[in-house]
Amino acid sequence: MPDWRYDLQLIKEGRYWLLLSGNIVHLNWAHWGLNMAGLGIVAFFFSSYGSVFHWLLVMLVSALFVGVGLLFFNPCVCTYVVLSGVLHGLFIYGAVREIRFYPASGYALMALLVGKLLWELMYGALPGSEELTAGRVVTDAHLYGAIGGGVSALLLGLFHQLVQVKNGQQNTEHNQ
């Protein structure tokens, strides 16, 4: 599906949907398999921490952060395909939710994720990852996706608090 990949020139020509669709295209079957394994891990460990709507929102926000982040901060990236940036957003969201219910494992996971992102910022892709996927790893996409996951966690947390406050006010009004 090369027509769906993030393509800087086509985006500049007005095909803005490529900012999102590039996150669902893969280089090859091995690359797809690795991303599906990551998605399966997220689903297995964290799916109970939010509704389908929450997870879809995190995916959308993370995908937007990846696409827009690459567009504005990585103009040298002409094409991009992969779900890994969005996966980093899902893992961050899952870790934030894990902290709420199981602080020790949540903070440990968050430390691992932040450590991985710092490694990639300082040294580039993890050893062996480019050979495994048969392509260049755009590590900045992982950072942008993780930021998107963090922003999603913040927004959904604030929304949840607003709903609780509103429900509390309604309950108070009914009790009077």
Contacts for 109 with CB less than 8 Å, ≥ 6 apart? 91, 94, 95, 98
pLDDT tens, position by position, 63-73 = 999 999 999 99
Tokens 């393509």 map to which residue? 7
**pLDDT tens column, 76-103:** 999 999 899 999 999 999 999 999 999 9
pTM of the full structure: 0.91
Asked if the model's pLDDT at residue 175 lies above 70, the reply is no
42, amino acid identity: V
> What's the pLDDT score for residue 27?
86
Q: What is the pLDDT of residues 105-128, one digit of tens each?
A: 999 999 999 999 999 999 999 999
Q: What is the pLDDT of residue 167?
A: 84
Q: What is the pLDDT of residues 149-171, one digit of tens each?
A: 999 999 999 999 998 888 876 65
Domain total for the chain?
A: 1
The answer for residues whose C-beta is within 8 angstroms of residue 20's C-beta and 6 or more apart is 60, 63, 64, 67
Helix, strand, coil percentages for the chain (3-state, nearest 5): 75, 0, 20
Q: What is the CATH number of the domain that holds 34?
A: 1.20.1540
The range of the structural domain enclosing residue 137 comes to 2-175
Q: Sorting pLDDT into bands at 50, 70 and 90, what band is 135?
A: confident
In sequence order, the β-bridge partners of residue 7 are 79
Relative orientation angle of helices 139-175 and 103-123, to the nearest 10 degrees: 150
pLDDT tens profile 6-35 = 999 999 999 999 999 999 998 889 889 999
